[in-house]
Structure 1
Amino acid sequence: MSGEFSDVAELIRRFDAYDYLLDVGTATALYLALELGRPLLLEGEPGVGKTTAAKALALSLDAPLIRLQCYEGLSANEALYDWNYQRQLLAIKLSEARGDALDEADLFTEEFLQERPILRCVRHRGPAAPVLLVDEIDRADDEFEALLLEFLGESAVTVPELGTFTAMRPPVVVLTSNRSRDLHDALRRRCLYHWIDYPEPERAVAIVRRMVPSANLALIEHATAFVGQIRGADLDKAPGVAETIDWVSALVTLGVADLVREDVVVSLGALAKTPDDRAVLRGELMKGPP
């Protein structure tokens, strides 16, 4: 989708209009993926904005977003295409009632084809190419990656009974991974790559201010500094930007103006995701503001 943005700066401005404050590194990776027509693999810790970046990209391009949420056991029938077995069975019964005979070729036609996210992207005929978000690819099985290779390399899907479908306009593909397992080299070679890190303190403050405008600056600065500080602690799940936003929103809802009141502790459910992490965060919080 070359030419959608004149340069990296314009991409940053367009994302800003949808409340996503891009850093230059991520903006450059997105810009190059569009200009070169290559899939983009975004990796980073949970909560740094990988999924939201794909959503903001679709909004900025005024393109439909098609999301494929990955999980263990994800199959081709759920990701690429499937057959409408109920309609096939009904067709068989109606044919028998008429005294006709249906062979296999009659049952495996486009009439009975069900599009799943990837085939839906390939067959999309709207004014703008869709953005396909393959979310948390690391949660799918190793075998699933092999199913993506034809699509990532050729923007095509082969249905043995019908042939190969190729996209009129290659979709914009963003894959995300939390690095819960290593991805195969064959998949990585087909993608541009970018690691999204936790934002630096100044940008973290700007992001939270944008997303929680009702919070005062002192609360935001102390909350983001605290979160940045405790990421170095021994936590099961270090809080990301998303958790920071949730926490500040919770504090505002509780009427907390700064991290000095003891009742801040009751809001930690927005930040900590395990009992052990809650205990660690409570201990750090009771030491006082960073």
Structure 2
Amino acid sequence: MSGILRAARCLMSLLAPLTGNVSTGSVTATATSSPLVLPRNTYGVGILSGSLDPLTLVKTTAETTVTAGGTSVPIRSVLGGQRVNLAAGTTIRWDPAIPGLQPTAIVLAPGMTGGTQAVGFGAVAQVRLYESTGVEDLFKTGAGLFPALVLVWSGSDDDENVGRTTTLLRERWVLAVVASRTDGDETRRAEALQILEDASELIHKQSVVDGEVFTAPQPVLVNARSRIVSTSAAYIYGIQFSTVRSLEKHESRVFPAFEQVEAQWPLPGTPEASVVTDVVIPIPIPT
């Protein structure tokens, strides 16, 4: 998985409290041949009505050894809400695919349970990645359920060289707060600003979520906040922040194996080395 996508999913986990309670459950994962270790925080996406549903993103909660006969693996949803209460038998596709593992897993009975939708002023209906929303949806308030948070990766900057093969990159992000309400312009603006505050507090200075480090050596830094656009139907505000990751040089050169031998011998005409004999002086022991 790309470092950008992993950081994005970790940020979504940090924002989950705004959406409600997450759901938990188990899936049957199956190895293709030899047993393999499935790490904690391995991600999958639910398949609903024949299509991948990005709002049903799940991740494993414990390291598990998976066999070809099928193994129960504990999982939880990344976000909260009623939508993440997946019925037993629901198919989960591992994302990204994992070598040595069947591409899909099945939710075990009694299903994924415990997910509840946040309600009231400042509750967030969904958190989505920009790539799954689109620019027209973002600025024309077609993101679907509201209020919504849309996470946008805007680029990378060279932050610092660390050694010969490693560079620290500062990833730049924008978290768009999209509030679309029908009970008055003032209420829309107030709710958007409240979500802006709550989301800022949840991500600022964080670096680890569920045991997964997604920014190092510096935590999330909120740099600025601003209005992106306002319309008669919605307010969209933005939180600008950054994370840090390392970029390693890929070594493509091939070096032949070699042996290093060190030999020492005197040049012709060199006199033999002098040998110094230690002088031993006995010291009587007083009686």
Same fold (TM over 0.5): no
State the TM-score, normalized to the length of structure 1.
0.25
Structure ID, larger Rg:
2
The structure whose residues are more often strand, as a share, is 2
* More contact order relative to length (CA 8 Å, sep ≥ 6): 1
